[in-house]
Structures are given as structure tokens and as C-alpha cells.
Amino acid sequence: MGEFKVHRVRFFDYMPTAIRAMAFNAHTERLALARMDGSVEIFNFTDHYFQEKVIPGKDSRSIESLCWVGGRLFSAGLNGEIAEYDLENLRPKYSLEAYGGPIWTIISNTQGTQLAIGCEDGTVKLFEVLEEHIQFERNLDRQKGRIISLSWHPSGTHIAAGMMDMIRVFDVPTGHAVQRLLVDRGFGGSKSRETVVWSVAFLSDHTVVSGDSAGKVQVWDGHTGTLVKTHLVTKWDVLALSVSKDESSVVAGTSEGTVIQFQFIAPTLHQQQDKEWVRTRTFKNHTHDVRALAEIETAIVSGGMDTHLVVRPLLEKFDENIEMAGFDPVLLLFFPQRNLVSCAKKAGLLLFQFPGQLELWRLGDSDEHGKPGDRLPLKRKPEKLLLLKRKGEDHICCSALSSCGGWLAYSTVSSVLYTLHTSSASPRTPPRCLLPPANHQSSLLLLPSLSASMCTPSSPSQVSGSSNMSPQLGCSSLENHRFLLQPIHLMTTSGDGKWLAAANSDCEIHVYNLQKLKLHCIVPVYGSCPSAMGIHPTTNNMTVVHADQQLFEYSIVEKQYTDWSRKLQKQGLHNVWLDRDTPVTHVTFNSKNPNQVVLHDMHMFCIIDQSLPLPDQKTQFYNQMTLRSLSEQERPSHLHAFKICKTFQDLLCVSLLDDQSLVVVERPLLAITSQLPAPVRQKKFAT
């Protein structure tokens, strides 16, 4: 295949924010996750943990707790507001002040008719869930001290509330507190400090489980208000609890980064009736506080200060072979599964998207040539051309850069802004134009390469385009003949600007003709969400990669899958390819060689050469090392279409510039870890 010059970029200081809260919807199998910056992410657990929706954060928003009511998502935070989210337009639908001071927690009853929040002023407030809104109903008996955590009894008649030094059990119909469970303080110096009950869980048999700041997981009898069992699990805090659906298991997350499982089992084989809560397993996948936990049918999901989401499968529910094969079953989700980096292929520019700003960089240059493995001396260092800070409170949700590097656009939930900077001579030209905010609430932006036009999906049903970036704007929108329910999360245009493809989280892909401003065709729906797609600049074939790693090539002109795609589907993708655990996030092409498609996920990039034979299951899939060791004559018989390079890790973007050099944007996890605050306890060797 040959040699490539690689621009290895590590100066994108992307920093994900800590995970604060989590809620799992067992019915739709969606996990909602809130981060410290107020953003909310939705993961589809039926589709390879694909991050299908992201609601961008906002400076004033803080989320302490998330709660599903049917398909509706509510959050509450220390700003004292309850918010409901519009999961179709990916923005808050409305928010309302609860008038109880900062809100620590929000829960719903199992029937989905009421919400309860725990407030700083000591009240538990009930809200009625209406069709389009929620309405304040009443307060339960006001307590002294803040309400930190809440849990609703499955029958709906009682609520347990975790407070300072105690747990209260309320009778919901009367609103009176019926039990007071006193929680011990910690030992030694912490004796003078109040114990915070960070989390409570109310089980069907009126057992209350609590986790507190003294490091205890305690089991109480909710009827009598007596302590049944105390498990001292850490010197620090127990921050989160989650109960499995069948109530046979409880997991607790601690400040040490451990997740500890308790199971309701008989301690001896002879007395199967005499069950009790027994500490069983400890998982350590975090370095910092575990702030959010969810125990789902097959796995424990956890997240916290160290920003990554961990899905730890419960192995007894899997085939034993998985464990035998030495396969590490833990899934770690680090990076957002969408593009934060745009690359101008012609100009050699990179646009980095941060929540609060954009950075435009010009890549460095080198005249030298070297052999594989060499690092070339730089003639020109990379240069930061532009730092563009957003306006307003809303975080940047998307950005785009045209391939000539002359156009740049970004969008927040409320506005789209685009700017132009003509050349490197005057890179600091101020932003030129702001589209009217009313029309555009965009989650995705795209700047097609040739024409100076811009596409933004706005409301679900629409794709808008604006062209001719002169002071007078020409805007047009593409109306769908079909009503799309889900938001568009991916868009791509062809090199000649004729075609636009848009995909939504219902797995539908629509192709539009931009010249006629009409829907051209609909790609057959595949059962997994598209995670990346691209239209070939010369053949106008569209390559689509899905969350389940399947790969299709669709001819837009002929409105059918290409022969290569059919051949690939017939033969099947290699198991090694299918077993990868991060989705492909970017598809790009080689303008010089129409056979080559460049893809990447977090751990590798792959150049697919369609002229080479496809690998069958017996073929060694990662064969670059083998090929290297073979002689020139032996090599051709071992070649296959998937050329995978794992030299670069923790990838955010891989692109092939027009001068045939590769751009690789790495964000080493170690660098992210080093920017985190110190963990509460770090075990040091030999101390």
C-alpha cells in the first residue's frame, strides 16, 4: 500500500467532564447520563451501547439527578429547577422552579404518575405528571435538614428519605413521617462530622438500604425502624446505590472508585429460607468517586469523577467460555461517539470543538523524507490561527469547517453562527453572520466542500441549507414528505455538493438532491444505528458504518447497494472486526485512489482497499506485522482489503489530506487522567 506521512496531533486538550447522575430506562433500554457541565447523553443498550443522543450543556444548568417517567426524561439540580427534556429536538423542553432551594434528588413512583424531589430546605415535594407538563401537588412533612436522597417504595405508599445523620420514612397519602432511622457517625476524628446519607433504596419487603459518608452500607427494617446489618465497606463515602430489578442484588459505589455488590442469599446451603444481605464482589474500574450507578439485567453500569462510563457484564449471566477465553468483558466508554474535530482536507487545517470555544489550527510542515518509523524534523510548527469563544450560556453542540478552510460554522442549541476567514493572511477576521435564532436549533452542521453552502438539520422534519455566503443570505429548507420522529445525528455531502445524506437515530438514512432541493431516495433501514458515513467524491457511493460494526456501500445514483457491498455481506465481516467495542466515528476517502476508504474508531484506523480480496474467517485479520516480515514476493498472496494500523491510540479523528498525508488526532487517556483532581486514596507502592 505504501508509505504515509502522518501528522500526529496531540495538542487537542479535550477534557470530558465528570459523570454526575445516571438513570436507566428498563423499558426502552436507554441509559440517560448527566455530566457536571449539564449535558445529557442517551445510550442505546440494545444497540451496542451506542451514544445516540447528546443534549449539550449550559453554564447555569446543573444536574444532580435524572429520572425517567415512561419515555420522558426529567432532571433536577442545585439551581433549584426541574427540567424535562425534548428528546426529539435535543434540548430542554421546559424547566420550572421548585421553590425549595437546591434540589438534591428526583424520583418517580413506579406507576409514573408522580414525581418527588428532595430539597435543601428539608421538604419533599410531590409533582403530578401531566401529558405535556408537571404540576406541583403538595409537600410532605417538612424536616430539619436537607433531603439528600429519596427512594419510593414499589407500592407507592411510602418514601424513604436520606438526610443528615438519619433516614426518614414517609407515608405518602398522609404526608407524615412514620419512621426515623438514626445513622451512626464515623469513628475517630470524623465523629464530630455529620453523616450524609448519600443514597437510599426502598425494597418491596420494606427493607431500606442506605449508603452514607461514613463508609457504611446499612440494611434496615422499614416496618420497625431497626438496623438489621451494617457493612463497613470503605474509609470514605458510599456515594451511590442501585438495586437490581428482582431486588436480589444491590451495588454500592464508593469514593475509592470501587463498586461493591451485595446479594440477598442464604449464607449456608442448609438454610435456604434464611436469606440475608451478604457482600459478594468488588469491582475496581474507576480511580475516582463513583457518583452514578445502575444495575441492569446483565451488567453493572458505573460512572463518576474519572469521566468514563463502565459497563461491567455480570459474567454468571453469560457463557462461561467468555471468561475462559481470557476476554476482558469490561466495556469502557471514554470519548463521545461523534466528531469534535473537523479537518479541512485541502488547506490542512483542523478545527477543535470545546464546549466553550473553537480552536482553528494549521498543521506543521516538513520538507524531509524518511523511512518508516522515522520522526521528521519540522520546518514549520503547527500554529493556532483562531480562538473563537461562544456567546451566551449554551455550550457549543456542533461545528464544521469547509474543506478549503475558508468557512467555519458552529451552533449552539439556540443559534447557528458561521464565520469566514478568507486566508491565512488575515485569519482573525471576526465572525460575520448570525442566522436568525428562531429558525435554527441545530444539533449538526456540515459545510460541503465546493459550494459555499451550509446544511443544518433543524427541527426533526427539516434539513435547512443556506448558500451564497454573501451578506445577503439565501436560505432554503428541505421539507420531508415523511415525518421523521427522531433527530438527525449524522450528515454528509458529496464532493460536488449535489448530494446530502442524513441519518437519524431511528436508523433511517435519507438522501437529498441539493440542486433540486428534493428527497432523492431512502436507504433500506438496517437494524443498527449508523455511527459514521461518507459519500465518495468521485463515484458518489455512500459508505455507512453502523454501531454493530456492519459496513455497507450504497450507490446513490443507482439507488442500490454496490456489488462490493453485496459481496461483503455475502461473505460476512471478519469476527475480529465485529468484536471491536468502539464504533467507527469517521469515514473519509482517498481522492487519488477511488478504491480506498479510511475509517477509524478509538483504537485503530483502517484503510479499506476495495481492489483487494476480502478476508475470510480463517484469514489473519491484523496482518500488518506478518506482511512486514514477509518478502516482497510472498506479500501479495497474504494481502486483504482491511489494512489496520494500531500504532496510534485514543483517536479522536483520522483523516487523509489531499496531499496524501494522514492526520491523526490523539487524546491520550493518560493526559486526561493527569488533569483530574487527586483521588481520595491512592495506594502507593511500598508505602
Partner 1 sequence: MAALYEGFTLCGLVQTQNASDSPIQGIELDGDSDHAVVTDSTRSVTLYKVSDQKPLGSWTVKQGQLLTCPAVFNFQTKEYVVVSDNKVIRVWKDEDLNLDKAFKATVTADVWRVHSAPGGEPVVLFQRGAVRFLDSLLSAPQQPVEDVLSEEEVIRWSTNIVAEEQHFVLFTTEQKGECCLYVQRLNPNTLQKYRLEREDSGASPLSFSASLQDKHLNLLYLYPNGCVYQSVVAARGYVGLEGVQALPRSLRLMVPVGEGELGAASAVALDEAHVAVVGVPHPSARTGKDFLCIWNTNFQTLQAGKEMAGRIHGQVWCYLGKLFVSHGKALSVIPYECQKSSLASALGKLRHTGLAGNAALPHGTSTGRISIKCNCSQRNVKLGVNCVQPQPHQTGPVDEVQREVEALVSRGDAQDLQLSVGQLACHLVARSQAETAFYTPVALAQLVQTQFLCHSVCPGLLLLSLEHKDYFLCQLCLQLFPDIPEVVTCACLKTFISNEVLQTPYSDNFLLPHLKDLDTQQVILFLQYLQFVYLKYSQDVYTQTPGLRSPTMTQIIDWVCLLLDAHFTVLVMAPDAKGLLSNLQSFVKSQVKLFSELGKIESSLQELHKMKLSKDISQYSIEVIELF
User: Which residues contact partner 1 (rule: CB under 8 A)?
Assistant: 1-11, 364-366, 369-376, 378, 381-382, 607, 623-624, 627-628, 635, 639, 643, 645, 647, 661-662, 668, 670, 684-687
By C-beta, is 9 or 233 nearer to partner 1?
A: 9
What is the Cα–Cα distance from 662 to 631, expressed in whole angstroms?
26
Q: Which among 23, 61, 668 has a CA at the least distance from the CA of 335?
A: 668
Write out the three cell numbers for 564: 462490493
Q: How far is the CB of 645 from partner 1 (least distance, A)?
A: 6
Sheet with 216-221, strands from edge to edge, namely 197-202, 207-212, 216-221, 226-232
Q: How far is the CB of 342 from partner 1 (least distance, A)?
A: 18
By C-beta, is 480 or 593 nearer to partner 1?
A: 593
By C-beta, is 513 or 591 nearer to partner 1?
A: 591
Q: How far is the CB of 678 from partner 1 (least distance, A)?
A: 15
Q: How far is the CB of 344 from partner 1 (least distance, A)?
A: 17
Q: How far is the CB of 274 from partner 1 (least distance, A)?
A: 47
By C-beta, is 317 or 371 nearer to partner 1?
A: 371
By C-beta, is 369 or 481 nearer to partner 1?
A: 369
Say how many C-beta atoms besides its own lie within 10 A of residue 263's C-beta: 16
Q: How far is the CB of 376 from partner 1 (least distance, A)?
A: 5
What is the Cα–Cα distance from 343 to 361, expressed in whole angstroms?
10
* Cα-Cα end-to-end distance for the chain: 52
Which residues have CB under 8 Å from 127's CB, separation 6+?
82, 114, 115, 116, 117, 134, 135, 136, 137
Which residues have CB under 8 Å from 347's CB, separation 6+?
362, 403, 404, 405, 406
Q: Which among 87, 146, 155, 100 has a CA at the least distance from the CA of 127?
A: 100
Q: How many residues does the chain have?
A: 687
Buried b (16+ CB within 10 A) or exposed e, 320-356: eeeeeeeeeeebbbebebbbbbbbbbebbbbbbbbbe
By C-beta, is 400 or 644 nearer to partner 1?
A: 644
By C-beta, is 426 or 629 nearer to partner 1?
A: 629
Q: How far is the CB of 646 from partner 1 (least distance, A)?
A: 11
Sheet with 605-609, strands from edge to edge, namely 586-589, 596-600, 605-609, 642-645
By C-beta, is 228 or 376 nearer to partner 1?
A: 376
Chain-centre distance of CA 58, in angstroms? Answer: 17
Q: How far is the CB of 685 from partner 1 (least distance, A)?
A: 5
Q: How far is the CB of 601 from partner 1 (least distance, A)?
A: 17
CA dist list (Å): 286 to 101, 295, 367:
32, 16, 44
Task: Say what the alpha-carbon torsion angle 318, 322, 323, 328 is, to the nearest 10 degrees.
Answer: -110
Contact 483, 468 (CB under 8 A): no
By C-beta, is 295 or 666 nearer to partner 1?
A: 666
Q: How far is the CB of 637 from partner 1 (least distance, A)?
A: 12
By C-beta, is 319 or 367 nearer to partner 1?
A: 367
By C-beta, is 467 or 623 nearer to partner 1?
A: 623
CA atoms within 13 A on the CB side of 622: 12
Q: How far is the CB of 275 from partner 1 (least distance, A)?
A: 45
